[in-house]
Amino acid sequence: MPAMMRGWRGKCPNCGAGPLLHSYLKVNDQCAVCEQELHHHRADDGPAYLTILLVGHLMGVMLHFVFVHFRPEPIVLFTIFSVGSIGLSLYLLPRFKGAIVGFQWAKEMGGFARKR
């Protein structure tokens, strides 16, 4: 769990001090502080699936609640929920990627076991 939380914050899962990502979703090859190799990660589509799962369920419930109780105009409803979905997706995607890399590091998956 600590490695996943470090990854969620965008920090190295080993030391928690160095940056994990050097652009929006690009993982550093190694940590600048502890020199832990990070290129072994295999996050692939996992962060996108988790983001879609969470945002879809959250926005679906909220959309139903707002529509049933307030009945706003369709364009207002569309605008608010489109901006909310995009904003939440952009916020969660790098955090889920960091958490998945931290999970893989903690479970020694995909080559992380060699240099710990």
- Longest CA pairwise span in the chain (Å): 58
pTM: 0.88
pLDDT tens string, the chain, 116 residues long: the values are 899 999 999 999 989 999 999 999 999 999 999 988 888 888 889 999 999 999 999 999 999 999 999 999 999 999 999 999 999 999 999 999 999 999 999 988 877 875 44
Q: Residue 114: what pLDDT?
A: 55
Say how many C-beta atoms besides its own lie within 10 A of residue 80's C-beta: 14
Residue 88's φ and ψ, nearest 5 degrees, are -65, -40
Please state, in angstroms and rounded to a whole number, the distance separating the CA atoms of residues 30 and 15.
12
* Cβ atoms of 56 and 94 closer than 8 Å: no
H or E stretch covering 107 = none
